[in-house]
Amino acid sequence: MNETRRRLILAMAGSAGLSQAPGALADRGIGPAGLPDGALDSSEYDTLPGKQPLIKRSWRPPNFETPVRNFNDPYTPNDAFFVRYHLAGVPEIDASTWRLRIGGDAAGTPLELSLAELQSGYPQVEFAALCLCSGNRRGLSKPHVPGIQWGHGAMGNALWKGVRLKDVLARAGITGRAVEVAFDGADTAPIDATPDFVKSLPAWKAMDENTLIAWEMNGEPLPHWNGYPVRLVVPGWTATYWMKHLTGIDVRSTPSTGFWTAQAYRIPKGRFPVVDRFVSQESETTTPITEMVTNSLITNIRDQGIYRAKTPLFVRGVAWDGGYGVDRVEVSIDGGRLWQAGALGEDLGRFSWRQWSFAFNPEPGEHVLMARATNRIGVTQTFDLVFNPAGYHNNVVQRVRIRC
């Protein structure tokens, strides 16, 4: 890292009220400290148009992470929301000329909709949902794996407004022959050899009442970097299915053979405690990633931080799962020997994350803070990484070390 970049990062960390020690930079600036050698040095705060400074993990295509300090509120601000692209050709779209095409061999009455027709032709719904990159925390995999070396911030919670995908598919005459529904966006690759980013959903998930075509986020139009003018919202499932800049919907009677569904975003079969399966795309050994796993994050306590002994210390965080709802969060201040119940915050809906808190008066010395979430169907975070080559579903219980 050159000296100019280092000074910028130190200044950013200082402006956030952080220590400028290396450990502080790793945890609260561009960390966490478990990222592989080189990942911290190659990352920096940078600003995209319309965004506040985010943690740049790559520039082309743009992949920017939200600093953890932004997760202390129920909803992640639009200008702080993470940015994730696979293709470098990020489109500039004129909403007045944008059109959504719906067709395919299992659609009886194909149609094309303008934004005004989409917004006026169907019942509108709004709810909270967590958008989480499948590779969130990939940088903490051990051994390390290829891909964007995300820390904790490739996620965000928001209010999404739009129309139910199933209502649009019904207008397009979806038939009983439908096996999958494929989605295409307006982003493009710099060379023809790169596969177009097209994703499929099983037909039953596309027809779920909570799957949306959304044009609004936290009460405002979608930001450019988060899918303007419309995107798919698939609550409970990882963000690989949340197609940005949506332009085409293909109702298929056969499984998709495209790269991003048939080959990418796959996990070892039977290794994770998920309920929702994408059966038409399963092989003997792998299956597409689907719903999020139970997880939690401490958001306001800095790893290796120094805090005042025998003074109330309030620990805050968020917990989430694949849409069954968070049942409880337990907190340990002694590295996992004793667990106590945390206080859950407001329930914003089963697809939203759930805020939690815990207060204690620390004795002098070192403490290891841990939090583990359990959902309403009894699935709890793991203490050991379920390793997979793509670094997905990292829900290992976090350890935050402090001194008082």
Note the pLDDT tens digit of each residue in 52-108. 999 999 999 999 999 999 999 999 999 999 999 999 999 999 999 999 999 999 999
Q: DSSP character for 304?
A: T
Instruction: Among 243, 268, 288, identify where a domain stops.
Output: 288
**Is residue 30 one of the residues assigned to a domain?**
yes
Residues 190 and 315 in one domain: no
Residues 248 and 347 in one domain: no
Residues 29 and 164 in one domain: no
pLDDT above 70 (res 19): no
Q: Domain with 257 in it: what CATH number?
A: 3.90.420.10
Residues 21 and 119 in one domain: no
Nearest partner of 272 among 235, 336, 322, judged by Cα: 322
Domain coverage including residue 32: 3-74
Residues 198 and 299 in one domain: no
Residues 119 and 258 in one domain: yes
Residues 235 and 300 in one domain: no
Question: Could you give the residue ranges of the DSSP H alpha helices within 32-73?
Answer: 39-42
Q: In what helix (H) or strand (E) does residue 101 lie, and over which residues does it extend?
A: strand 99-103
**Is residue 91 one of the residues assigned to a domain?**
no
Contact in structure between 324 and 376 (CB atoms under 8 Å): yes
**Is residue 84 one of the residues assigned to a domain?**
no
Nearest partner of 61 among 243, 222, 225, 240, judged by Cα: 225
**Is residue 235 one of the residues assigned to a domain?**
yes
Q: In what helix (H) or strand (E) does residue 403 lie, and over which residues does it extend?
A: strand 399-403
Q: Is 191 helix (H, G, I), strand (E, B) or coil?
A: coil
Give residue 33's pLDDT band: very low, low, confident or very high (50, 70, 90).
confident
Residues 120 and 257 in one domain: yes
Contact in structure between 358 and 315 (CB atoms under 8 Å): yes
Note the pLDDT tens digit of each residue in 118-154. 999 999 999 999 999 999 999 999 999 999 999 999 9
Chain-centre distance for alpha carbon 70: 14
**Is residue 82 one of the residues assigned to a domain?**
no
Note the pLDDT tens digit of each residue in 287-303. 999 999 999 999 999 99
Instruction: Among 57, 74, 91, identify where a domain stops.
Output: 74
* Rounded Cα–Cα distance for residues 318 and 398 (Å): 12
Residues 137 and 184 in one domain: yes
Residue 40: what pLDDT?
Answer: 80
Residue 64: what pLDDT?
Answer: 98
Q: Domain with 340 in it: what CATH number?
A: 2.60.40.650
Give residue 29's pLDDT band: very low, low, confident or very high (50, 70, 90).
low
Residue 18: what pLDDT?
Answer: 30
Residues 281 and 144 in one domain: yes
Per the prediction, the chain carries an average pLDDT of 92
Query: What is the number of alpha carbons within 13 Å of residue 225 lying toward its C-beta?
Result: 20
Residue 357: what pLDDT?
Answer: 98
Q: Starting at the earlier edge strand, list the strands of the sheet with 198-202.
A: 111-114, 99-103, 246-252, 180-185, 198-202
Residues 264 and 309 in one domain: no
pLDDT above 90 (res 22): no
**Is residue 79 one of the residues assigned to a domain?**
no
Please report, to the nearest 10 degrees, the dihedral formed by the alpha carbons of residues 354, 236, 239, 301 taken in order.
20
Instruction: Among 288, 312, 330, identify where a domain stops.
Output: 288
List the structure tokens of 274.
């998920």
Q: What's the burial of 64, exposed, middle or buried (CB within 10 Å: 0-12/13-18/19+)?
A: buried
Note the pLDDT tens digit of each residue in 208-234. 999 999 999 999 999 999 999 999 999
Residues 284 and 300 in one domain: no
Note the pLDDT tens digit of each residue in 151-165. 999 999 999 999 999
Residue 280: what pLDDT?
Answer: 98
pLDDT above 80 (res 14): no
**Is residue 207 one of the residues assigned to a domain?**
yes
Q: Which of 17-31, 262-276, 289-303 has the lowest average pLDDT?
A: 17-31
Nearest partner of 398 among 71, 146, 19, judged by Cα: 71
**Is residue 342 one of the residues assigned to a domain?**
yes
Domain count, the chain: 3
